[in-house]
Structure 1
Amino acid sequence: MITKISEKCNRDYTRSSIKFKIVNFPFIFCCFTYFFSSAQSLKLVGKYCDLQTGDLARLCYVKETLAVLTHSPNQLAVEKSSNTLYFSFDFGQGEYIPGILNISTKKLTVLKGPKDAFAIAINDTSREVYFGGSYGVYKYNPIEKSLKQLLVPDLDVWWLFVKNNMLYFIKFPTLYAYCYHNRTVRSVERLKTSSIQQFVVDEGNNIFFINSSGLYGVKNESENITMLRSDTKFLGMTIDNKGDVFASADDGIYIVDRIVAKVKKVVNIPGVLGLTFDKNNHLIYSDSHEITRLVAVSSNTYNDINSIK
């Protein structure tokens, strides 16, 4: 089924020249055990098998709890070279702050500095981390421990995504998509008439996005919007290390078959708010109070715990 989204943008967006402003923030790294705790020895807390298919060679999953939070963790991103998970969580007063978990060492800390870090994205090339929220966009360099703020007036960010050094974001409350490059902000042309909750851009420059009415795709060099699924409430999106597009929904996690433009459920876990993949391409997801990793194993080694890495 193909449909055109025809929502009109109620105002024009003019390109504006903007710069990064260096801000001297006091960096405070501390363990907030009051709010959440990490699995210091990362125990295997259970096994989970996707039983959707009768394929005897299907993958099963060992479920690992990475962190337990009093307030819901939201958007997730992994810096692959250090295998460090960045996530936003509700501080308890409507303000989101970034948590940092080194998946290898299990060290869990909080980064104080970015205000209202609701959205998170990582530039895999530069290793820089972007935080976005009601105070705009911050760029954090974890090596230099430096923080810069994107100087854009009246910028409230709902979603961030980085592709080929291009920073994409969704403005709140309009939920329109924009990109930032070479100190210039402009609307994403193929999405300029669409209200969007989250979107990703794959290696072929195809765009996939979700909103309140479903999951959609836009092929490279096309403005035709294809509805991929409309009978499911989608909550989050990400791309794995192989370039496959995944979307979480209220009834499970789906993968998008980009060749035949179909959406298939791969794991029956309801209520997933955010999802990402670690450096070994293991799925990490968050729900209302936990961050969990699924380590995929083949069915014939499912009972061999020592094979899990």
Structure 2
Amino acid sequence: MTLKLYIMLNALACIQGLPNKTCDRVKIQDRWYEMEIIWANFGRPFNLYAHKTTNTVFFSYTVPETYSDVDFQLAFIDMDTKEFQNIAGIRGGCSVAIDHVNEDIYLGGSDGIYKYNMMTKLADFYKEAGKNIWALFFRRNLFYISYPDQKLHIEIDGKFAIVKEFESFEVDQFHVTTDSEDIYFANKTGFYKYDNARLKVNVINDVITVRQIAEDNDGDLYVCTNLGVFIDLKNEGFKKVLDFKNIYSLTFDKDNNVIISDEKRIIKLIHTMTGCPDTRNVDLH
């Protein structure tokens, strides 16, 4: 374990919650962090993904249309200017994937996949017309998970096909790591690692509900769940480093700052040299 990772783990493990109304900072061991509310009053923002070049965080949030139906809206926040904008033209927009090499931003909704243009601020239709896109992921190829069958698809030579190795599985979350290309996925029955060499699925945890799988800028793998946030310590396995149960998503901006969301807010953790006289903390609400 690197010294940087050790310090991060110990710091995150000591977080007790957000500060109360009289203080906008929280003490993490001997360091203070300001909890900056980036945006509030969303309906459960999730699927946070940071576009590093522009330091923009894309995400989706729930929008109640009637008393019985809930729809989804895609949006973005510029982390430098705090500009917020809804992304128009994508019905039921709920998923994001970013190809950081080619600067392509993919967005998914209830009628297919779109590509977002940062210059024009417009989303143009890409592929899979009429398909309901549950989730997107990019690692060399573009993947998507269809809804409601929860099948994993991959784009090869311009066309999408179901990933044969996952034909017999429902998939809610999918991730391939940057460095080792380890394959992880999750569904309603638990969290798994796919052994590509042995064509075998290994159970990591059959209790947690995975809300998002993400990597920081150093390639460390985080899993956001209903029981808190876990990090992959490689040979030591996954360890819980954040005990909040109402975090729905997390990502990392261009400076590797942690960006998290709860039921209504998007929050950024910022290191600060000044603290507060009252160190009492409250949980995320």
TM-score, normalised to structure 1, is 0.73
1:84 aligns with 2:56: yes
Residues 169 and 259 (structure 1 numbering): CA distance in 2 closer, same or farther, change over 3 Å? farther
Q: 1:150–1:222: structure 2 CA closer, same or farther, 3 Å change rule?
A: farther
Among 135, 154, 172, which residue is 2:147 paired with? 172
Runs of 4 or more, structure 1, over 6 Å off, are none
Contact 2:214/2:223 (<8 A) preserved: yes
State the Cα RMSD in Å.
2.3
Cα deviation, 1:80-131, whole Å, max 9, x if unaligned, reads 0110011111222222122211101111122212222111111112222211
Secondary structure of the residue aligned to 1:113 is coil
The partner residue of 2:257 within 262, 279, 282 is 282
- The SS at the match of 1:190 is helix
Q: Does 1:196 align with 2:174?
A: no
Alpha-carbon distance in 2 for matches of 1:73, 1:267:
19
Q: Does residue 193 of structure 2 align to residue 217 of structure 1?
A: yes
Whether the 8 Å CA contact 1:190–1:218 is kept in 2: the answer is no
Corresponding position: 1:75 with 2:44: no
Where in structure 2 are the equivalents of 1:114-125 lying within 5 Å?
Answer: 114-125=90-101
Paired residue for 1:105, among 72, 81, 84? Answer: 81
Deviation (angstroms), 1:302: 7.1
CA contact (8 A) 1:83 1:102 kept: yes
SS at the partner of 1:72? Answer: strand
Name stretches of at least 5 consecutive residues in structure 1 with no aligned partner: 1-43, 50-55, 305-309
The equivalent residue for 1:208 is: 184
What CA distance in whole angstroms lies between the structure 2 residues aligned with 1:295 and 1:264?
23
1:47 counterpart = 2:26: yes
Answer whether contact 2:113 2:129 (CA < 8 A) is retained.
no
SS of 1:289's equivalent? Answer: coil
Q: Does 1:96 align with 2:68?
A: no
Identity %, equivalent residues: 24
8 Å Cα contact 1:45-1:65 kept in structure 2: no
For residues 161-212 of structure 1, the C-alpha deviation after alignment (integer angstroms, 9 at most, x for no partner) is: 1112x11111111111111132111222332221111111112221111212
* Residues 1:219 and 1:243: Cα distance change in structure 2 (over 3 Å): farther
Cα contact 2:32–2:275 (8 A) shared by 1: no
| Correspondence for 1:273 | 248
User: How much does 1:230 deviate?
Assistant: 2.0
Provide TM-score, normalisation by structure 2.
0.79
User: How many residue pairs are counted as aligned between the two chains?
Assistant: 249
Equivalent residue letter for 1:155: K
